[in-house]
Every structure is written in structure tokens, then in C-alpha cells.
Amino acid sequence: MIQKYTKTAISLHWLIALLILCAFPLGLYMSDLELSPLKLKLYAYHKWIGISVLGLFIIRLIWRVTHQPPELPNQFKAWEKKLSHIVHGLIYLLLLLIPLTGWLHSSAAGVSVVYLNLIHLPDLVTKNKELSNILKELHETLNWILVSLVALHVLGALKHQIQDRVNILSRMKF
């Protein structure tokens, strides 16, 4: 019998995944637009999603620290378990770093983050064009790394589900 994650962990997993599935293509699309009211609106939405991911990640991290996740199935080889832990750890790190680098980039660009047009978040650094450019590149690079790790995560789950016939996907089902 495969052990499941808690309903809270499952909800946070899928909500964060959905937000990332919205934020990433939105980021790709908006960055190529000419400066316009639409581009500014899309940047605001992208920032709202990013701050939401950051908040949900913090909740998820607290939940993870206070609730033991289920063990990986015994059918997994030692190297598969190790790789799984490494990939999950890196994804967690990126769920923190990506929103923070986006927020830092906005601050360094001199464009404050106003969450949901309601909450003015503090600038994390003073305006600095050179720093803004570095943070923008870092933010984009970290996003591509996250996409690669998420693809590895999904492919690993599908490999175990389909090829190994271990019902691993049931761990994250409601």
C-alpha cells in the first residue's frame, strides 16, 4: 500500500504547480511585448503569481517541517530515492529563489511590487540598473532550471507509474 501525502500537502503541491504553469508562459510572453498598458498589466499579474507562490511555498515549507512526508516505496532503488530527494530539494530552493529574484529585480529596476493592487511590498534594494539587469538574468536562468527539474520530476513519476508499475501518482491524488 502506497502512503499518501496529507490533503494540505497535496493541495499546496497542486496549487503551486498550477501557479507556476501560469507564471512561466506568462513571463515568456510578456517579456517580448512592446511597452504598453497590456505589458504593464501582465507584469503585475506575473508578480502577483510570484508573490503567491512565495507565500504558499512558505506555508508548504512549514507544513513539511512539521509533518513527515510518506516514505518512498520500497521498490525504488537507492539511487532513485537519492535523486528524488535531490530534485525535490532543488525545487524547494527554487520556489524560494525565483520569487525573491523577481522581487529583487523589480526593486532594483525602481518598480515596486504592489500585491493584488492592495499591498505595497517594500523594495528589497535601492534602484540600480546594473543590479536589475543581473537579477533579471538570474531570475530567467533559475526559471529554466526549475522547468528542467519539474520535467525530470514528472518524467520520474511517469516512469515509476508506467514502466515500474508502482502507483506513485496516488500519493498526490485527492
Looking at the 3D structure of the chain, how many domains does it have? 1
Copy the grid coordinates of residue 14.
497542486
Buried b (16+ CB within 10 A) or exposed e, 107-142: bbbebebeeeeeeeeebeeeeeeebbeebbebbbeb
Q: Tell me: the pLDDT tens digits for 37-96?
A: 999 999 999 999 999 999 999 999 999 999 999 999 999 999 999 999 999 999 999 999
| Assigned domain for 49 exists | yes
| Assigned domain for 90 exists | yes
Residue 150, domain extent: 7-172
Q: Tell me: the pLDDT tens digits for 118-162?
A: 999 999 999 999 999 999 999 999 999 999 999 999 999 999 999
| Assigned domain for 2 exists | no
| Assigned domain for 66 exists | yes
State pTM to two decimals.
0.93
CA 81/CA 87 separation, integer angstroms: 10
